[in-house]
């Protein structure tokens, strides 16, 4: 819908805003999740909010501004967002704030600075993410440094383990993925941004319930076929494509992940998550619907 090289036209949003920011956040906080399930809200790019019936509210890589458009306005193409800002940072109500690395669309300085619960939430991430947290006024006591293969217990039956990810450029050499385990036993693995190498599939966790995997192929991220090789190795119950929709210069068709999996002879179900609605995963059924 948007030409990244045409700066004369306004950006057309892929979808129109459907609910006011604070009301949407309040609906997430109030949502009742069945005891044997996980509710997942997709915020575009690599942004997720996760919740079980008893767990703290946990967010991953929430990019809630259009700050990249200004930060990279010197480039010969636009990096504007083409999704609405679902929740303004001031309205964000999280208990655990996780980033997989320090790139602006994952550990966004403006989102962190405007996040009003900076003094109440726990902030988790690798070294350069933690440095960003502190730069934005997050108290050191609230920061939890996470390395690949390290496990953090975050209270109320939630743990998070850092997983290997291959850096995509020299601006951040501390990329990780995250494996979140909830009190009801459900596991959510997010690859984060990762480049491809032949060793990658053998370095990743095995058998999570859900694997969210980047598929965009730009900026050295996995493309859909490389992502399919990752899914075939990781063997999740459900694969969730991500990082394909936000930036007008870096989009992909999420259906290609399923096509690539079938080319490999892999039957892992693929779930393309909606915006504004929770996707409910229940282990007994493999994958669920909101």
Domains of the chain: 21-272 (3.60.15.10)
Q: How many CB atoms lie within 10 A of CB 159?
A: 15
* Percent share of the chain, pLDDT over 70: 98
Cα–Cα distance for residue pair 199/29, rounded to 1 Å? 40
Q: Say whether pLDDT at 284 is over 80.
A: no
Q: Where residue 290 falls among pLDDT bands split at 50, 70, 90?
A: very low
pTM value is 0.96
**Burial (Cβ within 10 Å: 0-12, 13-18, ≥19) of residue 148:** middle
pLDDT of residue 134: 97
Q: What is the mean pLDDT of the chain?
A: 96
pLDDT of residue 289: 45
Mean pLDDT, residues 261-273: 98
Q: Say whether pLDDT at 1 is over 90.
A: no
Please check whether residue 140 is in contact with residue 127, taking contact to mean a CB–CB distance below 8 angstroms. no
Q: Where residue 285 falls among pLDDT bands split at 50, 70, 90?
A: low
- Contacts for 108 with CB less than 8 Å, ≥ 6 apart: 62, 63, 64, 65, 67, 68
3-class DSSP state of 140: helix
Tokens of 53: 């019936």
Please check whether residue 88 is in contact with residue 94, taking contact to mean a CB–CB distance below 8 angstroms. no
């Amino acid at each position: 819908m948007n030409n990244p090289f045409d700066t004369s036209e306004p950006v057309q949003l892929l979808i129109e805003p459907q609910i006011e920011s604070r009301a949407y956040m309040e609906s997430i906080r109030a949502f009742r999740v069945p005891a044997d399930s996980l509710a997942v809200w997709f915020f575009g790019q690599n942004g997720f909010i996760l919740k079980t019936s008893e767990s703290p509210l946990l967010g991953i890589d929430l990019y809630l501004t259009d700050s990249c458009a200004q930060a990279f306005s010197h480039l010969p193409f636009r990096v504007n967002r083409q999704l609405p800002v679902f929740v303004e940072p001031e309205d964000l109500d999280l208990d655990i704030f996780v980033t997989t690395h320090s790139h602006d669309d994952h550990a966004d300085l403006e989102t962190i600075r405007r996040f009003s619960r900076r003094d109440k939430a726990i902030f988790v991430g690798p070294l350069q993410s933690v440095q960003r947290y502190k730069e934005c006024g997050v108290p050191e006591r609230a920061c939890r440094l996470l390395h690949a293969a390290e496990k953090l217990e975050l209270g109320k039956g939630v743990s998070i383990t850092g997983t290997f990810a291959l850096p995509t450029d020299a601006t951040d050499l501390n990329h990780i993925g995250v494996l979140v385990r909830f009190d009801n036993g459900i596991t959510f693995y997010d690859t984060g941004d990762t480049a491809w190498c032949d060793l990658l599939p053998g370095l990743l966790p095995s058998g999570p319930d859900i694997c969210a995997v980047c598929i965009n192929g730009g900026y050295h991220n996995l493309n859909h076929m490389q992502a399919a090789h990752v899914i075939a190795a990781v063997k999740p119950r459900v694969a969730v494509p991500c990082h394909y929709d936000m930036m007008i210069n870096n989009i992909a068709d999420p259906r290609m992940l399923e096509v690539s999996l079938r080319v490999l002879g892999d039957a892992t179900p693929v779930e393309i998550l909606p915006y504004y609605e929770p996707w409910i995963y229940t282990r007994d059924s493999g994958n669920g619907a909101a």
